[in-house]
Amino acid sequence: MGVDIRLVEQSDEDLTRWWRARSIGYLSGTQVGEQDLAYLREAMDPSRTWGAFEDGRCVATFRGFTQEVTVPGGRFLASAVVSGVTVSPTHRRRGLLTRMIEPYLRRAKESGDAMSSLIAAEYPIYGRFGYGPATWLTDFRIDTLRAARPGLPAEPDDGGRVVLADLERIGREGPELHERVRRIRHGMVTRPPTWWKRATGEYRLTESVWQEPYCALYLAQDGTVDGLVAYTGREVWKNGVPDSVLDVKDLLAATPAAERALWHYLCSVDWVTTINAPSRAPDDLLPLLVGDARAVTPTACSDHLWLRPLDVPAMLTARSYQAEGAVVLDVQDKDGLASGRFLLEAGPDGASCVPTGRTPDLTLPAAALGSLYLGDESAVRLAALGRLAEERPGAAFAADTLLRTSRRPWCPDIF
């Protein structure tokens, strides 16, 4: 009997088989609890969640849904997410991922999604399907004793204040703050209600150990919630001296004042000598917000959000441009979803992008356009790597002038 790929049903039996297969693929156990099923029912889009079944057993999983990605300029663009992809070790490298992702991308294009987004478990998996890395993350470690030299303000000196908040308040105020923050930072994605329910402990899945975080809010002088931090602590003593560690789970700030105040707050917590701050933007303000920038060490840097173009004109007209210019892009896509030659004419007042018969300036695969789209990657760099071709000398430099952004995109979330 062959492997049957079909939509997952809402029954306990089907969901349990699907979740167990996913847990086997992610090496996160085999137990499926009530909370897992309740979460899955709320989080999944039944019209986009697939399983591969053989002899009544689920051997591969694939979860699609739509999210909004903030593009340069602050608009939200609908994107078809690829998530929860697993193939059982007994069925790997027989084309099951390919059989699930290719029709999904065709359907996403037909239903009007401009692009597809995912977080790649391993770098080599998704390039062949037209995805390119579009945002990066940096993990920082703060040596708080050094960071505090020559002294950080104990309290915000701008009229604002930092207050502790319980998870109930975070669940109430967090989503609205996140909506404000994602408008001003391209690369961020929608946080659905299930994201907040997991962050506040309402859903506790069997795959992860729940530790209730401490939370604080930054209130501006007029009482507006402009910032949020969630962190856990580990009490450590060495030779009678406190040497404790904080692990930052989430830090959102709608203003630079909130950002500064929350980092200063964390650096001033008594007993703490080390703060781990993962999943920050590579150009995070953090190192320059403390007394000694070398107290903040980048400990890891990795690709994060990957994008796959589906509708090039929709993507390129949705975002903003800091400079005026025009470029002809010849996009090559072996799957035919994004291919075409397009004239992009753009400037601070808007952009048009239309099919053209003109000679191209750049010839590039869809994956390279995915990497360039949010302004993080450089066309000059991709040309040097042989990942795009300059058909006119200087065309890559000109494209960078148009496409790159003054701040780097940032997507802190895992979805």
Query: Binding-site residues for acetyl-CoA, please?
Result: 85-87, 93-98
Least distance to ligand ACO from the beta carbon of 126, Å? 7
* 126 a catalytic residue: yes
Selecting among 39, 126, 140, 373, the annotated active-site residue is: 126
Interaction of residue 132 with ligand ACO, rule CB under 6 A: no
* Residue selected from 8, 32, 69, 87 as contacting ligand ACO according to rule CB under 6 A: 87
Residue 307 · residue 113 · CB < 8 Å: no
Least distance to ligand ACO from the beta carbon of 209, Å? 21
What is the layout of strands, in order, in the sheet containing 272-280?
Answer: 161-165, 214-219, 225-234, 244-253, 272-280, 136-143, 296-303
- Closest to ligand ACO by CB, 88 or 356: 88
The Cα–Cα gap between 112 and 374 comes to: 20
Interaction of residue 95 with ligand ACO, rule CB under 6 A: yes
**Binding to ligand ACO (CB under 6 A): which residues in 315-374?**
none
Task: Let me know the angle formed at the C-alpha of 17 by 129 and 110, rounded to the nearest 5 degrees.
Answer: 35
Interaction of residue 167 with ligand ACO, rule CB under 6 A: no
- Give per-residue burial for 320-357: e unless 16+ CB within 10 Å, then b: bbbeeeebbbbbbbebebbeebbbbbbeeeebebeeee
Residue 390 · residue 396 · CB < 8 Å: yes
Interaction of residue 55 with ligand ACO, rule CB under 6 A: no
- Closest to ligand ACO by CB, 122 or 270: 122
189 DSSP assignment: B
What is the layout of strands, in order, in the sheet containing 305-309?
Answer: 4-7, 49-54, 57-70, 76-87, 115-119, 305-309, 132-133
Selecting among 39, 129, 321, 415, the annotated active-site residue is: 415
* Residue selected from 8, 40, 44, 82 as contacting ligand ACO according to rule CB under 6 A: 82
The answer for residues whose C-beta is within 8 angstroms of residue 263's C-beta and 6 or more apart is 251, 286, 289, 290
* Residue selected from 57, 75, 94, 106 as contacting ligand ACO according to rule CB under 6 A: 94
Backbone angles phi, psi at 327, to 5 degrees: -150, 140
Interaction of residue 93 with ligand ACO, rule CB under 6 A: yes
* Residue selected from 56, 124, 357, 393 as contacting ligand ACO according to rule CB under 6 A: 124
- Closest to ligand ACO by CB, 120 or 328: 120
Determine the interface stretch with ligand ACO among 31-39, 95-103, 234-242, 323-331 (rule: CB under 6 A). 95-103
Interaction of residue 83 with ligand ACO, rule CB under 6 A: yes
Kindly state the tokens that stand for 140.
Answer: 């920082």
How many residues are given for the chain? 415
Residue 104 · residue 276 · CB < 8 Å: no
- Closest to ligand ACO by CB, 28 or 211: 28
Size of the site for ligand ACO (CB under 6 A): 22
The answer for residues whose C-beta is within 8 angstroms of residue 373's C-beta and 6 or more apart is 71, 115, 134, 307, 309, 315, 316, 319, 403
The answer for residues whose C-beta is within 8 angstroms of residue 238's C-beta and 6 or more apart is none
* Residue selected from 8, 32, 69, 97 as contacting ligand ACO according to rule CB under 6 A: 97
* 104 a catalytic residue: no
- Closest to ligand ACO by CB, 25 or 213: 25
Determine the interface stretch with ligand ACO among 123-131, 138-146, 247-255, 269-277 (rule: CB under 6 A). 123-131
Mapping DSSP to helix (H, G, I), strand (E, B) and coil, where does residue 13 land?
helix
* Residue selected from 21, 44, 85, 366 as contacting ligand ACO according to rule CB under 6 A: 85
Interaction of residue 238 with ligand ACO, rule CB under 6 A: no
Least distance to ligand ACO from the beta carbon of 103, Å? 13
Q: Which stretches of the chain bind ligand ACO, using CB under 6 A?
A: 25, 82-87, 92-98, 118-122, 124-125, 128
Q: Which residues are catalytic?
A: 126, 415
